[in-house]
Amino acid sequence: MLMNMSTTCIVLLFVIATAMADENSEEVNITDITVSTSQPKSKKSSAGASDSVEENTIDDVKKELDRAVQGLNSTVTEAKDKFTNVITEVTSNLDTCKAKDCNDRGTCLGTKKAYVCACVLGYSGKNCEETMCDSSRDCNGRGICFGTTSSLTCLCNIGYRGRRCEKTISDT
């Protein structure tokens, strides 16, 4: 049967204080808690029975502490195992997305229900369905293309104009 927590703490402080006590001192101050290690004069002078009682008490405290620590260790191990099992179950139940969800034009990150596509160069859109414009093709090699083939803007080089840089400035 475990001692209640305050009794265990007091006994533990007593054990620590006894171990730390100077031969000439009968008190030890542990972070503003003074624990007296002195015994009545009659007990100090008599050897034998009181020494064995004190040793038994210390041994009992050590055993009690060992049991408490073992109990905590098994509780922590149990909790860790349960947590690991839950994580394994959750991740195995996830239906992860695949590259085909991104039209094989990107890397899919997430699950089928919630994913993001990291599209390869030249593609964009939620599922990498949009082809990015190509300056050499879509702007006739006379400007820089921005956007996708369905919605593009050409920034024409000097001397060219038009939606796709198809006209020269001299053409009016």
Lowest-confidence region among 5-14, 42-51, 132-141: 42-51
- Are 60 and 108 contained in the same domain? no
Q: pTM for the full model?
A: 0.38
When pLDDT is cut at 50, 70 and 90, the band that residue 11 belongs to is low
Domain boundary among 93, 124, 159: 93
- Contacts of residue 140, Cβ cutoff 8 Å, sequence gap at least 6: 164, 165, 166
* pLDDT given at position 43: 47
Helix (H, G, I), strand (E, B) or coil at 126: coil
Helix (H, G, I), strand (E, B) or coil at 56: helix
Query: How many domains does the structure of the chain reveal?
Result: 2
Rounded Cα distance, 58 and 23, in Å: 19
Average pLDDT of every residue of the chain: 75
Residue % of the chain over a pLDDT of 90: 31
Instruction: Kindly tell me if the per-residue pLDDT of 109 is higher than 70.
Output: yes
**Residue 142 sits in a domain of what CATH number?**
2.10.25.10
Rounded Cα distance, 9 and 105, in Å: 64
Domain residue limits at 17: 5-93
**Which range among 65-69, 105-109, 149-153 has the greatest average pLDDT?**
105-109
Domain boundary among 33, 58, 93: 93
Q: What is the pLDDT of residues 18-77, one digit of tens each?
A: 555 555 555 555 555 555 555 555 544 445 545 555 666 787 888 888 877 777 777 777
Tell me the β-bridge partners of 115.
110
Rounded Cα distance, 149 and 115, in Å: 24
* pLDDT given at position 16: 61
The more confidently predicted of residues 93 and 171 is 171
- Are 125 and 157 contained in the same domain? yes
- Are 124 and 104 contained in the same domain? yes
Tell me the β-bridge partners of 117.
108
- Are 89 and 39 contained in the same domain? yes
- Are 24 and 84 contained in the same domain? yes
